Structure 1
Amino acid sequence: MGETGGSEGRPFVIELGSWCVRSGQASEAIPDEEVGVELRKEGGWDGVGLVSRLDGVKDLLLVESSTFLDGRERLDLVGTVMEGCPELGSIFLLRGAAASSFAMGRVSAVVVDVGELAAVASPVTDGYVHKRAVSKVDGGGKALSERIRDAISPSEFNMDEAKQFLFSENFKPSEDKKYELPDGTTIEVPTEAVEDAAAWVSEPLPGTIISSINKIHGDFEKTVSNADVLLCGGTSLVRGVPNAIFEQSEARGVHFLAAKGHDRTLQNWRGGSILGSLGSYSTLAITRADYAEKGASLVLSKCA
């Protein structure tokens, strides 16, 4: 994963996303590298695959996807990494919703992450994700792509997914409706197909957000009810999705905040980078000595 040795006590930050894995040094604004999800297995993350990419890392901060791992998967991941990387001095596992909240300068918020596999609403107070109040809609970027594909007459041509990343500085989305396929065939994608798919993804989200907020009771109820709703995730960049969510949600009295453009895809990693740059980070991490004494079960208390 490039140069990973750590710098001035800052951890190396890896975001385990549902679409890609981002990695880089804490305190940086953008990750050094993005790769596809070869590391991801059905049912969780393959710790063995992750270990093979951690040569030279001394301190590691892992940021989970908002469709987070369950307790057993977290234990297995931390155990596999610590056992497989004898040079690793410390590890910390940060939930994606908490990371996004930090990235937007909020310690309390309702984070709505519209990602590849699902759209997830997560209440966060003082950096703690209320897991029992998390609400999820199984309709992320993957489902949206399938819906658009079905809407543009798939019987007329074959559509293959290009499994690679393309980067361009100052990239501007094309307004053209016609697209040329690699074989030279020109197709026209109806605007209605994109708008329909965006509405389909957006429609259930306001109710999901309200449902998540209503699950919070007691001491945190007022904090969450008055908190900003933060929008992030790659699928939130699809034309029409943010506006549809904003319009439907604000009609219900929900106040939204969203980073600009591509920054919304980086919020989870960036929040980990911010946390890892703080002087207090070392008190949060599970050290090698902690792990030797108490094992991977520490993740349940220190990385809740």
Structure 2
Amino acid sequence: MQATKVLSWKSALMGLALLFLLAYPWLGASSYLKHLFILFFIWSVVAANWNLLMGYAGITSLGNIGFLAIGGYTSGILAKSFGLSPWVTIPIGGLAASLLVTLFLGLPALRLSGIYIALLSLIFADSLPSLLTQTRGITGGAMGLHEIPGFLPGMEKVHAYYISLAFFLAIQYILYRTVRSSTGLAFVALRDSEHLATTLGVNRFKERLKVFALSSFLTGVAGGVYVHSLGDISPTTLGIEPFLLGIAMMELGGIGTFAGPILGSAVIVFGNEFLRLAGTLRLALLGALICGIILFFPGGIMQLVERVEKWLRRRFNKLPPPSPGSRSHS
């Protein structure tokens, strides 16, 4: 009965959050605030898929911003230059990202591990801006692509808000089901002890390719949503600031947890915009905030949530103890 109460409480909280997101555009929100929420939806998907690779599968990838760019550029070029519908180009962009990443990172990762995969993925992402700049006739060069068609003719910000929200919910649901499936358990088993996992019958080749393909596909889809919601993309999308903020979202929320990257993305996206009032001190203050949270809560925001839950359990003696292995399924 106690577990049912906790489940009902969490379900009610999630329901309230969803109700707020659905109603928010009609609560007098400005176009600027809708824009921030669109960024939050997109970046939380990027962080969550980054977390799938690093947190659940234990693969140190530093190239996930590149996955976003491949999907975004592919979808943007097909829609702008060939007149295809974004509803067609977005999955194509995801497939392009998945194919390229699986070929250039997934297959080599079968023979590499640790720092070597990290370096390979970093080289992969770092080579993309130069490639995009040199192929000006296709990608727009250093200026990037602009006036990319939206999801709907004459699309307004409120339409982009709800469409990006729908993609956010769908992709998070896919990830939720994945990490709680036998596939997710295989990812975690390989992360914790590759030798033991393979001894028990986990196919390392199959699972590593699977996690790279899924993570890059969903991140590529997020790239498509990005360009058709905001209307442009450029090589600066692959800059050092997006790279660092993407990692910070995952680490700040709690790597290896499901809800962590979502919470971390909310703090980074909205905190980053709020701190723009500080001018040139913005990144320094944001870095101090991130360092402060991680210093006191090495497990990120989710560790803070767990501590609050324990305090409530002691205070009211109503909540059951957390289930074993909650780190991999939070």
Same-fold status (TM-score > 0.5):
no
Structure number with higher strand proportion: 1
Q: TM-score, normalised by structure 1?
A: 0.30
Q: TM-score, normalised by structure 2?
A: 0.28
Structure number with higher helix proportion: 2
- Higher RCO by CA contacts (8 Å cutoff, separation 6 or greater): 2
